[in-house]
Every structure is written in C-alpha cells, then in structure tokens.
Amino acid sequence: VRLIHEHVSINKEARDSWMACMEMAMTQLDYDDELKQRLTENFLVIATLLINH
C-alpha cells in the first residue's frame, strides 16, 4: 500500500482529512457502531503508516 501511494504527499493533515471522509462515508452507509469502530481503528493504522511528509 505504501508503494502505491509514494507519489502522493501525505502529511498528518491529509491523513486526518481522509479519516474524516471515511467517517462520513461510514455514517452515510449506516454501518453499525461496532463495525465503524473496528474499521476506524484499522484505517487509522494504515493511514498513519502512509504519512511521508
């Protein structure tokens, strides 16, 4: 995943914006709270690993 995204400048602000978009998407899709929590935790780990600036 990191290799695929290395051409994109990703900082903490970009990560946080992406996380906010994912939160909105999960809310719109009406995911239950437990699933949203698990996905959010996993998304945050991956998104943080992608920070390159």
- Written as one letter, the residue type at 26 is M
Of 1 and 43, the structure prediction assigns the larger pLDDT to: 43
> What integer pLDDT is reported at residue 2 of this predicted model?
87
> What integer pLDDT is reported at residue 13 of this predicted model?
98
Q: DSSP 3-state assignment of 3? A: helix
> What integer pLDDT is reported at residue 27 of this predicted model?
96
Q: What is the pLDDT of residues 15-42, one digit of tens each?
A: 999 999 999 999 999 999 999 999 999 9
Taking CB atoms within 8 Å and a gap of at least 24, the contacts of 37-43 are 43/19
In this prediction the pTM is 0.87
